[in-house]
C-alpha cells in the first residue's frame, strides 16, 4: 500500500476535538512535518513537501486552516519575510500519533550494555544549585568563572564532558568551562534559576522554590523539552531522528535496534538514504547525551548492531502546579526519608528536592543517586549553624519530613547544638520561601525568543528565531495565489475547449500556482500536474498524469491536441473564499487538538 493512501486512512480516525477540520489540511500538516519537521519555511518552499496528488497548491490552500487551528505559527523575520513553522508541541503530537516506529523489541539476553544511564539531569542541577547556594560563583573582570570554582562545581555532577562532547556545543569561555558544566549552567540560566550579575552569579529563589517543589516526572519533561529545543541542530532529518527516538511507542525497559529505527525513518522518507557522516556522529552523540542525562541506555546486540532502551522516558507534560505529587484528596503528598540510629538518613527517590534542600544545610551528603544517603555529624550541625540553621530547626525538619527521629539522634543534636551555640543573624544558605507560579517560558510564546529576556541560557544549536516576531494578520488570497484576480473565472469553473494560445496561458498559470489541470481525454477526465513548457506555436508540456482512480501519476508529454477540454483545479479551501481574505492566526488560545 502506498504511503499516501495509508496515511489518509490513519488520519481519518483522528478527529477528536477538532470537528470539521478539513481532511486536506490534515494531509498538508503531515507532508509539511515530514519535509520541514519544526523548521520554518516560506510559502514558496512548499513544492519541496508536495507528493502525489497533493500539490504545492493544496499545501498553500491548507495553510489558513492550519493557522486558524494553531498547528502552524506565522512570523516575520527582521527583513520582513513571512515564515511559518510547526510548534514543538504539535510536532511531538504528530510524531506520537501519526508516525509511530513500530519496531519489535530485542530480548535483553542478546544485549551487552555499553553505556549506562547516569543518575539524572534533575539531580545534577539540584546538586549544582546547592553548591552555588553555599559557595557562590564569583566571576573575573572579563566575566569568566574562576577556575577553582569551576573545578568544585564540576565535581557536583555525574554528567561528564564526554557525555555531551558529541553534541558539538558552542558557548562562551569554551576553552575553560567543561562541556558538562556548560550544559548545567546553561539550563539553570535558561530557567532563570540563576542570574548572571557583574561580580557573581545570583540565585533566583522564587524560581528555585517553584522548581524544587516539582516531582521528578515534571522536571524531566521540562528538561527534555528545553534540551530538545536548544541542542538539536536546525536540520529536519536530525529533528526527525530525535522525535522518533522519543516516540511514546517505545516501552521503557525494552531494547530496540538503532539501525532498524534509522531504516524506518528512511522508509518513511523522514531521513535521507545517504545521510552525511556528521549526522551519524551527531546521532551517537545525542544518544550518549541521553545516557548522561539519565534517560537512556546504550547496548550492543549479538548481531553486531547497537540498541537503546529508555530508563526514564520524559513524559510530554507541561511543568505546572498540577505536576506535583498529590493524594486522592487533592493535597500535596510528600514522601519522607528515614533517619537511622547510626545517624544516616536514607532518602528514597520520591522525596522532593524541596525537602532535600534543607537536608543539605544540616547534614553531609554521602551518596547522591536515585537513592541518596546523608549523615548527621557534629561537623554537619556546625556547618548548618554557620549557614543559618539552629539545632532546633534541624530537629524540627527531621521530625516533619521523616517517619521518626531515634532518641539517640535527637539527644545528640541537642547536645551538639548547645555546645556550638546559635547561628548569627546572617542567613548564608537561603530558604525556599518564594511565590513564583511558573518558570519562564522557553524562549517566549511559541518558542520565539523575547528580546531582553534572561531565560535563554548561553547555548543554542537550533534555528535562530531571535529576530522573529509573531505576525497574526490574515493571509490574503494574493499571498496564496498571486494574480488570482486577473485570472478569468471561467478557467476555474468550467471544463471546456480553448484555443491553443489560451490553453498555453492556462498551463503556464497552473505551473506558477503548482495546481492541477483537469483534462478531458477521449471522454474521460484526468488530472495533470504540468512541470515544463517547450516550443513555440507547436508547443508541448511535460508533467504527471493521474487517472481518476490512481494516486500514482505517470510521466506524460502532452500537446493541446491530446485533450478536448480543460480547466484549472484551484484547491477547494481557497475557492470557497475567492472574494475575501483567508482567515489567519488568532492572537490567543491553545491549539484545537485534532488527534
| Architecture in CATH for domain 482-569 | Roll (2.30)
What confidence score (pLDDT) does residue 88 get?
A: 86
Per-residue confidence (pLDDT) for residue 360, from 0 to 100 = 95
Return the DSSP state at 495: -
By the 8 A CB rule, do 232 and 460 touch? no
pLDDT given for residue 441 in this prediction: 54
Tell me the residue ranges of DSSP E strands in 342-479. Answer: 344-347, 364-367, 372-375, 469-470
pTM of the model as a whole:
0.84
Domain ranges of the chain: 121-212, 327-350+360-420, 482-569
pLDDT of residue 376: 96
Residue 19, C-beta contacts closer than 8 angstroms, at least 6 positions apart: none
Cell numbers describing residue 506: 492556462
Q: Which residues of the chain carry a pLDDT beneath 50?
A: 1-19, 317-333, 435-438, 442-445, 447-455, 574-595
Nearest to 363 by CA among 341, 342, 379, 386: 379
Fold classified for 121-212: Arc Repressor Mutant, subunit A (1.10.10)
Classify each residue of 134-161 as buried b or exposed e, where b means 16 or more C-beta atoms within 10 Å of its C-beta: eeebebeeeeebeeebbeebbebbbbee
Grid coordinates of 84: 511559518
Nine-digit cell string for 33: 512535518
How many Å apart are CA 578 and CA 575, to the nearest integer? 5
Residue where the block lists cell 478557467: 491
Question: Do the Cβ atoms of 226 and 187 come closer than 8 Å?
Answer: yes
Answer whether 354's CB lies under 8 Å from 213's CB.
Answer: yes
**Alpha carbons 352 and 400: distance in angstroms, whole number:** 13
Whether 356 contacts 215, CB under 8 Å: no
Q: Any idea what the Cα angle at residue 224 is, between residues 220 and 226, rounded to 5°?
A: 120
**Which residues are within 8 A (CB) of 499 and not within 5 positions of it... i.e. 6 or more apart?**
none
Instruction: Classify 24 as helix, strand or coil.
Output: helix
For position 440, what pLDDT does the model report? 53
| HEC-encoded secondary structure of 113-154 | EEECCCCCHHHHHHHHHHHHHHHCEEECCCCCECHHHHHHHH
Between CA 480 and CA 59 the distance in angstroms is 10
The contacts found for 260-265 with CB under 8 angstroms, 24 or more apart, are: 260/103, 260/305, 261/101, 261/103, 264/101, 264/102, 264/103, 265/101, 265/237, 265/240, 265/241
Amino acid at each position: 500500500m502506498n504511503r499516501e493512501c495509508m496515511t489518509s486512512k490513519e488520519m481519518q480516525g483522528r478527529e477528536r476535538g477538532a470537528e470539521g477540520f478539513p481532511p486536506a489540511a490534515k494531509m498538508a500538516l503531515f507532508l509539511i512535518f515530514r519535509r520541514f519537521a519544526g523548521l520554518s519555511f516560506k510559502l514558496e518552499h512548499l513544492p519541496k513537501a508536495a507528493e502525489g496528488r497533493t500539490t504545492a497548491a493544496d499545501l498553500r490552500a491548507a495553510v489558513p486552516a492550519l493557522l486558524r487551528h494553531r498547528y502552524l505559527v506565522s512570523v516575520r523575520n527582521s527583513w520582513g519575510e513571512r515564515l511559518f513553522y510547526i510548534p514543538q508541541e504539535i510536532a511531538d503530537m504528530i510524531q506520537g500519533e501519526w508516525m509511530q516506529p513500530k519496531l519489535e523489541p530485542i530480548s535483553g539476553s542478546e544485549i551487552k550494555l555499553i553505556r549506562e544511564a547516569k543518575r539524572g539531569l534533575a539531580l545534577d542541577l539540584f546538586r549544582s544549585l546547592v553548591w552555588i547556594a553555599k559557595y557562590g560563583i564569583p566571576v573575573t573582570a572579563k566575566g569568566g568563572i574562576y577556575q577553582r570554582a569551576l573545578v568544585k562545581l564540576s565535581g557536583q555532577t555525574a554528567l561528564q564532558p564526554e557525555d555531551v562532547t558529541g553534541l558539538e556545543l558552542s558557548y562562551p569561555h569554551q576553552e575553560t568551562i567543561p562541556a558538562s558544566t556548560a550544559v548545567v549552567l546553561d539550563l539553570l540560566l535558561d530557567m532563570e534559576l540563576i542570574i548572571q550579575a557583574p561580580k557573581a552569579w545570583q540565585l533566583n529563589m522564587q524560581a528555585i522554590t517553584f522548581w524544587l517543589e516539582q516531582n521528578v516526572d515534571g522536571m524531566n519533561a521540562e528538561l527534555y523539552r528545553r534540551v530538545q529545543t536548544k541542542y538539536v541542530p536546525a536540520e529536519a532529518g536530525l529533528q526527525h531522528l530525535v522525535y522518533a527516538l522519543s516516540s511514546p511507542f517505545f516501552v521503557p525497559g525494552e531494547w530496540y535496534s538503532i539501525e532498524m529505527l534509522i531504516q524506518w525513518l528512511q522508509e518513511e522518507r523522514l531521513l535521507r538514504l545517504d545521510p552525511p557522516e556528521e549526522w551519524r556522529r551527531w546521532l551517537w552523540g545525542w544518544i550518549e547525551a541521553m545516557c548522561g542525562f539519565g534517560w537512556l541506555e546504550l547496548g550492543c546486540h549479538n548481531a553486531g548492531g547497537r540498541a537503546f532502551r529508555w530508563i526514564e522516558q520524559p513524559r510530554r507534560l507541561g511543568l505546572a502546579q498540577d505536576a506535583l505529587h498529590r493524594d486522592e484528596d487533592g493535597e500535596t503528598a510528600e514522601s519522607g526519608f528515614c533517619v537511622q540510629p547510626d545517624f544516616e538518613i536514607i532518602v528514597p527517590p520520591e522525596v522532593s528536592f524541596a525537602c532535600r534542600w534543607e537536608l543539605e544545610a544540616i547534614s553531609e551528603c554521602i551518596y547522591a543517586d536515585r537513592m541518596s544517603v546523608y549523615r548527621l555529624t557534629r561537623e554537619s550541625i556546625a556547618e548548618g549553624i554557620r549557614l543559618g540553621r539552629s539545632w532546633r530547626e534541624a530537629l524540627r525538619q527531621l521530625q516533619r519530613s521523616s517517619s521518626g527521629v531515634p532518641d539517640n539522634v535527637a539527644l545528640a543534636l541537642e547536645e551538639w547544638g548547645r555546645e556550638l551555640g546559635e547561628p548569627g543573624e546572617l542567613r548564608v544558605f537561603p530558604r525556599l520561601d518564594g511565590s513564583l507560579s511558573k518558570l519562564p517560558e522557553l524562549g517566549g510564546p511559541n518558542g520565539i525568543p523575547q528580546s531582553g529576556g534572561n531565560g535563554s541560557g548561553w547555548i543554542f544549536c537550533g534555528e535562530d528565531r531571535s529576530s522573529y516576531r509573531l505576525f497574526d494578520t490574515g493571509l490574503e488570497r494574493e499571498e496564496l495565489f498571486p494574480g488570482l484576480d486577473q485570472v478569468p473565472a471561467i478557467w476555474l469553473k468550467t471544463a471546456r475547449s480553448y484555443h491553443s494560445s489560451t490553453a498555453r496561458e492556462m498551463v503556464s498559470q497552473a505551473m506558477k500556482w503548482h495546481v492541477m489541470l483537469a483534462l478531458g481525454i477521449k471522454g474521460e477526465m484526468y488530472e495533470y500536474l504540468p512541470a515544463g513548457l517547450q516550443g513555440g506555436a507547436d508547443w508541448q508540456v511535460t508533467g504527471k498524469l493521474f487517472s481518476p482512480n490512481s494516486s500514482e501519476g505517470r510521466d506524460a508529454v502532452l500537446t493541446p491536441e491530446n485533450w478536448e477540454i480543460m480547466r484549472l483545479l484551484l484547491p477547494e479551501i481557497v475557492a470557497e473564499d475567492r472574494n475575501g481574505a483567508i482567515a489567519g492566526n488568532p492572537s490567543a488560545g491553545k491549539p484545537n487538538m485534532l488527534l
